């Protein structure tokens, strides 16, 4: 048994030593001003602060913003006072800054490692759900509407695909209009909501379309609501990026040497596309399961179930993406159906049993994600002989 553990440890160390980080290309905003801003900011960060601490601080900013939203606008219907939207905008900008300078701090202190990539992208995977919640509330959609779930699914699909280019190609493909540009757009939307209220996003544009569905809360006959048009445009941009990412992935498979290498990449692509489709289908099924509850179920319980679904999906997606990132830095193949996906699937059954069952599944999802993420981070840190949240003395001096 001891020899097996020693062998596994040796294989992990060998895989981690093969890790090589290649910085992605900069997006439009990063080229224009954001990267220069991050370079300036990181100069004021003490060298003894570990890059992973900066990463977690960024995640804490989004957690705080989501907490403010839940307290002041619990139904995500734009009921928060203006100062909350200002605070959320500042916290979003703080998250983006921490997310941008953690890598620079790693290179500045010589503390870059596979662990940093796991922590950075692992936190980003969880943050997606929180940021989606902020914009859903600013637009006053409410979680009963299908539009919020289109935002969540699109954002998670984009993150998954971009990290898949990292897994299969060794370098993340960044488009000119990417996550940074979307974050600045959300920042502007939050500031506009603070200035004019969430009602401005419900204003109908002076043209209509023959689209009406009571069940899906869509009525474009008299005019297209601005907030719904913005979601359609955002999702169209995400679909465009997805097309570019998957075209790049297909090219990676074709360019690989015929034989085992090409077959391995083709298998990776098939498994990840199946996982991506599985998450979208399961999330839609869970949402519809909540809506399909009997009319006797109070509206407040439906809303609570959907809030729990958002949290559950966030942790389940985070767990699956953590496994993808581990496959990237340690070359250990993740399962086709990771525990996170199976946990999310169980939410649809819990929805028929009430909010207590939904809360239990949500707690299970959080436990699965945190247990895997923390234990794997420690395992990688031990294999590399480094600390998760501390910079070695040789890097500080």
| Cβ atoms of residues 97 and 41 within 8 Å | yes
Q: What does the alpha-carbon distance between residue 165 and residue 18 come to, in Å, rounded to a whole number?
A: 18
- Cα 122 from chain centre: 8
Choose among 150, 108, 155, 111: nearest CA to 130: 155
DSSP 229-284: HHHHHHHHHHHHHHHHHHHHHHHHHHHSPTTHHHHHHHHHHHHHHHHHHHHHHHHH
Tokens read off for 389: 């949240």
Catalytic residues: 121
> Is 134 strand, coil or helix?
helix
String of DSSP letters for 195-214: HH-GGGGGPBPS---S-EET
Asked whether the beta carbons of 226 and 163 are under 8 A apart, the reply is no
Burial (CB count <10 Å: 0-12, 13-18, 19+), residue 46: exposed
């Amino acid at each position: 048994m001891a020899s097996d553990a020693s062998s596994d440890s040796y294989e992990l160390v060998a895989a981690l030593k093969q890790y090589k980080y290649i910085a992605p290309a900069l997006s439009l905003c990063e080229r224009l001003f954001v990267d220069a801003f991050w370079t300036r900011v990181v100069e004021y960060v003490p060298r003894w602060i570990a890059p992973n601490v900066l990463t977690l601080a960024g995640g804490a900013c989004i957690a705080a913003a989501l907490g403010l939203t839940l307290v002041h606008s619990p139904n995500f219907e734009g009921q928060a006072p203006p100062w909350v939207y200002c605070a959320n905008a500042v916290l979003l900008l703080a998250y983006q800054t921490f997310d941008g300078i953690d890598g620079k701090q790693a290179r500045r202190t010589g503390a870059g490692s596979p662990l940093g990539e796991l922590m950075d992208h692992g936190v980003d995977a969880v943050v997606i759900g929180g940021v989606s919640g902020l914009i859903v509330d600013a637009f006053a959609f409410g979680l009963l509407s299908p539009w919020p779930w289109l935002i969540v699914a699109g954002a998670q699909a984009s993150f998954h695909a971009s990290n898949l280019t990292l897994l299969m190609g060794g370098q993340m493909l960044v488009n000119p209009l990417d996550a940074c540009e979307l974050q600045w757009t959300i920042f502007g939307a939050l500031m506009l909501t603070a200035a004019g209220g969430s009602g401005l996003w419900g204003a109908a544009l002076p043209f209509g379309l023959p689209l009406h569905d009571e069940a899906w809360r869509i009525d474009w006959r008299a005019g297209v609501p601005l907030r719904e048009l913005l979601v359609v445009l955002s999702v169209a941009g995400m679909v465009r990026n997805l097309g570019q990412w998957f075209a790049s992935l297909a090219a990676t498979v074709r360019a690989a040497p015929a034989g085992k290498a090409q077959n391995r990449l083709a298998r990776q692509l098939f498994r990840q596309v199946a996982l991506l489709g599985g998450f979208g289908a399961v999330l839609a099924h869970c949402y519809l399961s909540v809506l399909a509850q009997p009319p006797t179920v109070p509206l407040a319980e439906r809303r609570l179930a959907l809030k729990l679904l958002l949290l559950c999906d966030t942790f389940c997606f985070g767990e699956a993406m953590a496994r993808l990132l581990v496959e990237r830095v340690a070359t250990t193949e993740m399962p086709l159906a990771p525990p996170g996906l199976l946990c999310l699937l169980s939410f649809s059954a819990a929805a028929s049993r009430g909010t207590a069952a939904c809360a239990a599944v949500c707690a299970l999802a959080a436990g699965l994600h945190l247990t895997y993420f923390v234990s794997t981070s420690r395992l990688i840190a031990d294999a590399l002989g480094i600390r998760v949240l501390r910079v070695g003395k040789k890097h500080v001096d």
